Amino acid sequence: MARRKIVIAMMMHETNTFSPVPTPIESFGRMGAMSGPAAIAELTGTNTQTGGFIRVAQDIGAEFTLPMAASANPSGLVQKAAYEQMCEAIVGEIRKGCDAAFLALHGAMVAEHFDDGEGELLRRIRAIAPDLPVAVGLDFHAQMTAAMIENATVVTGYRTYPHIDMGHTAERAGRTLVRALNGEIEPKMVWGFRPMLTSTLSHTPSRQPMKDIMDRANKAEDSGQVLNASVFGGFPQADIPHLSCSAVIVCDKRTAEGEILLNSLLDQAWERREAFLYTGEALSAQVARAKKLDGGPIILADHGDNTASGGTQDVMSVVEEAMKQGLEDVAAGPIWDPANVAKMIEAGIGATVTLELGGKIDMPQLNLKGKPLRVTGTVKCITDGEFTVTGPMATGTKIRMGRTAVLDTGKMQIVVSEKRSEPFDLGVFTHCGIDPRRKKYVLIKSRQHFRAGFEPIAKHIVMCDGDGVTSSDLKLFDYKRRREPLYPFEPDLQLGRNEA
C-alpha cells in the first residue's frame, strides 16, 4: 500500500481590527514565513498545532510536506500581499495532489480584503480539491463561520486558556481525519452561535463561567458520545459581522445527538452572558491593593496592552502608576521600544541613561496618543532576545524578541525589546539574568497566557486595567460592522439562538 501524502500547513493570526500595529509578511517570521525542511525541523516535537500534526503524520508513516508555517503576533489587519502569499503557498502545494490536508489555523484572521481569512483559504482549497479530506485546528478565540464548516471535514479547537494544548488539539483533529481516511467513521459537523460578546478575561476553561460549559464538551468527546466537541469564546477586539460565541460538534454519520449537545452548550453560555463581561476598577486602586499584599511574587497583569491580543506593548500607564506609588523590587516588561534598545546598547552595560520609554504608537481607534515615560537607570544586561520555552505553553519553541536590554532604575528592572512578545514563559526574564521567582512584583503585559508560566510561582495576582487596544472595557471600542442585535450592546436581547 502506498504511503499517504499529507500537506501540513500553518497560517495563524488573531487580528485586532482596532490595533494600529501593521501585519506585513515580515511579521510572520524573522525573514517572513518559514516553509519546507527548515520549518519541519524547528516545529517537530513542539507543543504547537504544527508539531501535533507532524506527530500524527509520522505515527501513520505518511509522507508529508510543510509549504507554509506562518504565525504572527496578534496585530492589525493582515496586509493583502501577505495573505495572498501565504494562501498561494498552501493552495499551490495542495494543487500538486495529496490524500489529506492538516491545517493549523487560528479562526480570527481578518485581512485587508477578507473578513474571514480562514474561511476564504478553505474555500480556495475546496475549489481545487472538492473531495479532499481536511482537518483544521483552531484557537479557542476563533470566530466561526459557515465557510469554515462547509469547506472542512473536521474542526477542533483548543480546550485551554492559556493554550497549553495546542499540540493535542491538532492531534485530535488529525486522528479523527485519519479514522475517516481508514473508513472507520464518516465525520459530519454541526455548528452554531449565540449573538453575544464575551470578555477574554472570562474565557479561562478552568474557572467559571466557562468551566462547566467546557467540561461538558470535553466529557462528550472523551466518552465517545461525539467525535469532537469544541467551544469558541470568540475574540472581542474584532469589528466584523460574524462576532459571536460559537461551538462545533463533529459527529459520526448522524448529527441529531450532536445538535442536542451543541444547543445545550450554547444555551448555557447564553444564560451566563452577563457573567462573561468584565467589570474593572480604577488602576490606582488596583496598584494600591497590590502594594498592601504580603509576600511575593505578586503578578501585576497589564491586560490592556497585551501584544498577544494586538496590543502595542509600549503603553506605560501601569508602569507609571507602579512607580508613582513607590513599588520596589519590581521586574517589568517586556516593553517594545527598538530605538531605546539601540540607545542602551550604544551606551553599554553599566552606563546610566535617561530614556523617553515606550509610548511611541498612537491608538486612533481609542483616541489615545502615545505617551512616553521618562525613566533614568543603569543598563544592566544586553541579550539577543532568544530563548527556548520550557514552560507548558508552546513548549520547545524558540522565542525571538530581537535585541533586548534591561534598564535598572534601582526599584524596577525593565526589560525592553526590539520585537513584541507576550510573557507567557519565565524565560522572558531569566534569559536576561532576572529571576522572577525572587521578585516582590512582576509586572507583565498579558491577559491570560501569563498564567502558564507565572501562576505557579505567584503568591498573588492583580489584574491591572491599563490603557491600550486590548482593554477589557468593551464600551471603549466603536464597533461599526458588528452583527445586530448583539449582547451587551442590545442588553434586552432575548433571542439567543441563531437560525442555522
Predicted local confidence at residue 500, as pLDDT: 37
Under the banding of pLDDT at 50, 70 and 90, the label for residue 2 is confident
* C-alpha grid cell, residue 326: 513607590
Please determine, for residue 265, whether its predicted confidence score (pLDDT) is greater than 70.
yes
Please tell me whether residue 404 adopts helix, strand or coil conformation.
strand
Average pLDDT over every residue of 215-244: 98
391, part of any domain: yes
Select from 276, 292, 327 the last residue of a domain.
276
Predicted local confidence at residue 494, as pLDDT: 86
- State whether 165 and 290 are in the same domain: no
59, part of any domain: yes
CB 289 within 8 A of CB 441: no
- State whether 165 and 192 are in the same domain: yes
The conformation of residue 75, written as its DSSP 8-state character, comes to B
- State whether 200 and 67 are in the same domain: yes
Under the banding of pLDDT at 50, 70 and 90, the label for residue 498 is very low
- State whether 256 and 299 are in the same domain: no
With b for 16 or more beta-carbon neighbours within 10 A and e for fewer, the 215-253 pattern comes to ebbeebbeeeebbbbbbbbbbbbbbbebbbbbbbbbbbe
- State whether 174 and 319 are in the same domain: no
At 278-325, the pLDDT tens digits run: 998 999 999 999 999 999 999 999 999 999 999 999 999 999 999 999
Helix spans in 303-395 (H) = 317-324, 338-347
163, part of any domain: yes
Please determine, for residue 92, whether its predicted confidence score (pLDDT) is greater than 60.
yes
Predicted local confidence at residue 216, as pLDDT: 98
Q: Print the domain residue range for 140.
A: 5-276
Please determine, for residue 496, whether its predicted confidence score (pLDDT) is greater than 60.
no
- State whether 458 and 356 are in the same domain: yes
**Which residues have a Cβ under 8 Å from the Cβ of 241 and sit 6 or more positions away?**
115, 481, 482, 483
- State whether 61 and 187 are in the same domain: yes
Please determine, for residue 499, whether its predicted confidence score (pLDDT) is greater than 50.
no
491, part of any domain: no
The mean predicted confidence, pLDDT, of the chain is 96
Select from 241, 276, 311 the last residue of a domain.
276
Please determine, for residue 483, whether its predicted confidence score (pLDDT) is greater than 50.
yes
220, part of any domain: yes
At 457-473, the pLDDT tens digits run: 999 999 999 999 999 99
Instruction: For 136-174, give the DSSP string.
Output: EEE-TT----HHHHHT-SEEEE---SS---HHHHHHHHH
Average pLDDT over every residue of 443-450: 96
- State whether 129 and 64 are in the same domain: yes
- State whether 158 and 137 are in the same domain: yes
166, part of any domain: yes
Predicted local confidence at residue 453, as pLDDT: 98
- State whether 96 and 222 are in the same domain: yes
At 142-189, the pLDDT tens digits run: 999 999 999 999 999 999 999 999 999 999 999 999 999 999 999 999
CB atoms within 10 A of CB 74: 28
CATH classification at residue 267:
3.40.50.2300
Task: Order across the sheet with 373-383: list the strands.
Answer: 352-357, 373-383, 404-408, 412-417, 330-336, 441-444, 298-302, 460-464
Percent of the chain with pLDDT over 90: 96
Select from 244, 276, 308 the last residue of a domain.
276
Predicted local confidence at residue 1, as pLDDT: 62
Please tell me whether residue 474 adopts helix, strand or coil conformation.
helix
Please determine, for residue 31, whether its predicted confidence score (pLDDT) is greater than 80.
no
185, part of any domain: yes
Measured N-to-C along each axis, helices 283-292 and 317-324 cross at an angle, to the nearest 10 degrees, of 50
- State whether 345 and 421 are in the same domain: yes
477, part of any domain: no
* Total number of domains in the chain: 2
Predicted local confidence at residue 319, as pLDDT: 99
At 388-421, the pLDDT tens digits run: 999 999 999 999 999 999 999 999 999 999 999 9
Under the banding of pLDDT at 50, 70 and 90, the label for residue 495 is low
Helix spans in 223-309 (H) = 256-271, 283-292
Please determine, for residue 33, whether its predicted confidence score (pLDDT) is greater than 90.
no
Predicted local confidence at residue 32, as pLDDT: 61
- State whether 155 and 123 are in the same domain: yes
Work out the end-to-end distance of the chain between its first and last CA atoms, rounded to an integer number of angstroms: 42
